[in-house]
Amino acid sequence: MDIDELLQHYASPYYDPVKAHEYYMRTRELKGRRSTMKLNDEGKKVWAYTKNEITSEKKEKVKEELNKNSKANVSGLNLDTAKRLADAAVKKAGEMGVNVAVAVMDIHGNMILFNRMDDSVLAAIEVAPKKAYTSAALRIPSSEVLKGGFDKLVETMEGKIAAFGGGLPVRSNGIFLGALGVSGGTSEEDIKIAEYAVNAVFG
């Protein structure tokens, strides 16, 4: 086994070099072994890597995962998370000077929350839920419906599918949780607002 293979082995997320060493020190006498504190150059490289690099890398990954999970309930969108998505969307829309309507749906396309900013256009009230439903039903951004070859589906579903930007599927750690729909600005503005909201809540 060369040094690269050794490093790959010890880089496993389940390998704890400190605990491994403690276990070895406790059991070496029982096994009748002499101390092997004198390591060759290859062994020193492996030990230095596992002790210094892997431990710090694992700590950073754990912090990252804890931070992600603290921002959202990965089992599915609930009312609290939906409010946070809507609040983030409204905040961004306000900064952009755009009045929008925001809809948040669960994985089945059921409405969890609807929010409409003052003076948003009337059409936004109907379109935002359609964008959210589209992304919940197809699990793709609403802007990609026609690109994905779903043009016939638009006709078949009798106006339920919105084939323009502003709808986004919501995922956390690769798990599909629901969808967000934003309407009131241009497609580009709605997309920007929706993307900001999802990133603000789920990172």
Same domain for 121 and 105 = yes
Same domain for 136 and 56 = no
Last residue of a domain, one of 49, 71, 93: 71
Residue 129, pLDDT above cutoff 90: yes
- The pLDDT value recorded for residue 7 is 47
pLDDT tens for each residue of 152-179:
888 788 789 999 999 999 999 999 999 9
> Quick check: pTM over 0.85?
no
Domain extent, residue 41, equals 3-71
pLDDT band at 47 (very low <50, low <70, confident <90, very high): low
Count: domains in the chain: 2
Last residue of a domain, one of 46, 71, 96: 71
CATH of the domain at 119: 3.30.450.150
Same domain for 66 and 120 = no
Same domain for 102 and 40 = no
List, as one string, the DSSP characters of the chain: --HHHHHHHHT-TT--HHHHHHHHHHHTTTTTPPP--S--HHHHHHHHIIIIIIHHHHHHHHHHHHHHHHHS-TT---HHHHHHHHHHHHHHHHHHT---EEEEEETTS-EEEEEE-TT--HHHHHHHHHHHHHHHHHSS-GGGTTTTT-HHHHHHTTT----SSSEEEEEETTEEEEEEEEESS-HHHHHHHHHHHHHHHH-
Same domain for 88 and 63 = no
Same domain for 83 and 122 = yes
